Each structure stands twice: as structure tokens, then as C-alpha cells.
A and B are shown apart, each in its own frame.
Chain A
Amino acid sequence: GENVGLHLPTLSVQEGDNSIINCAYSNSASDYFIWYKQESGKGPQFIIDIRSNMDKRQGQRVTVLLNKTVKHLSLQIAATQPGDSAVYFCAENIPGTYKYIFGTGTRLKVLA
């Protein structure tokens, strides 16, 4: 939604550079994770997901890395573009449910 990222941690990157956004999750039993992108005035939009039996998954310009040992996820965006400016959330699926716990989010600002 509007101004959703007002007090969030901010990552500023130069256009064309790679971006890395990090997320710590809480439940060691979580076995499915999603990265969402939320632009101002819009709801979260699915970017990429990963299951716990993988440690890396690649999409178009995006890669998600999962480190289960330290309960850490990262989202890498290659050749960051102005359209990538948004707030990014990770979400973990509570095992055995359809419920997702969202992280606090990171605002990505792409500098021209």
C-alpha cells in the first residue's frame, strides 16, 4: 500500500548494479519461502519461491538463496532497473498450514 515502506531498512543501489536483499526467518521447521515485491499503492506481488530441499533457485534476473543452518534467505537482483524500486518482503510458510509469516521488509531504491 501507499507509504508502506516509510520506516523500513533501505538499500540504495546504482542502476545496472546487482542488489542483494536479506531476510532472517524464524521457524527452523519452515519448508517453503516466497519473496514478494510491493510497489507503492499496490499489494505484494510474487517474485520467486524456494522449497527447503533446495539452496538456490533462479528466475529471470532474480536468484533466491536459502541457508537453513542460519535460517537466512537472500534475494539477488541482477542488473537492477528503476522498475525494481519497491519494498521487498520474504515470507515463510508455516508447515502443515496455508499460513505465511512475512518479514518486515526492505525498501530498494534504484539510483539513476
Chain B
Amino acid sequence: EAGVAQSPRYKIIEKRQSVAFWCNPISGHATLYWYQQILGQGPKLLIQFQNNGVVDDSQLPKDRFSAERLKGVDSTLKIQPAKLEDSAVYLCASSLYRSDTGRDEQFFGPGTRLTVL
């Protein structure tokens, strides 16, 4: 089974520029997450989708970040305009419900490493 795909893997931009990241979740996974992982820290949830609807975007800086999941499959995360502090790895994950735990198990993509100069 193919895993979560993300592109690009690396991106370098200057501050105030715009950037977009793409995620293709595992087929059949209804829930999709975007995380921001700053160097030396654990991933922080930015937004969670259930199919094409937003479940939680409480930690998404909405003045500059936006995300969409049209048709409930692929998703894009955009930053416009970027700031220096946005330099991080952006991880996408999709999840599958496990009946033994009653929880969703998340599968992460390799991430996109963003450097803002």
C-alpha cells in the first residue's frame, strides 16, 4: 500500500513570498492532518479535515495560512506571505479508524522542509 505522498520535499523562498504544499493521503483515509514541525520540537497540529470539511483549525494562523481539501482526497496548504518563523517541516498525515483502540491511527508523509530567507 502506498503511503502518504507530499511534494515538494524541499522549498526555499524569501520572506513575503508565497508557497504551497501538496499532500496525497492514503487511499480511503477520510481524515487528513497538516502539522508544522519546527526544528527541535514535536509536530504541532495546524488543521484537521474529515473528508472535505474542517474539523479543527484552531492553531492555524489564518491571516497567512490557508488549506483546502477539495473532493475530500488531496490537500494543499498555502502560506501567503511567508515569514522567517515559518521555516519548518510541514507534515501531512492521514488516518484510519482502529476498532481495537477506538482511535484513529495516523500515517505520516515524509514532510516538506521549508526555509524562509
Residues of A whose CB lies within 8 Å of any CB of B are: 1-8, 32, 41-46, 49, 51, 89, 91, 93, 97-100, 102-105
Contact = CB atoms under 8 A, between A and B. Distances in A.
A43 B112 CA distance: 10
Interface residues of B, number: 28
A81 to B, nearest CB: 22
Contacts of A3: 39
17 contacts: A1-B110, A1-B111, A2-B113, A4-B40, A5-B40, A7-B39, A8-B40, A32-B101, A42-B108, A43-B91, A43-B110, A44-B43, A98-B103, A102-B42, A103-B42, A105-B40, A105-B42
Given A1-B37, A43-B91, A43-B108, A99 B45 contact: yes
Nearest to B40: A7
Given A2-B113, A51-B101, A98-B104, 16 more contacts: A1-B91, A1-B110, A1-B113, A6-B40, A7-B40, A32-B103, A42-B108, A44-B43, A46-B105, A46-B106, A97-B56, A98-B55, A98-B56, A99-B56, A102-B43, A103-B42
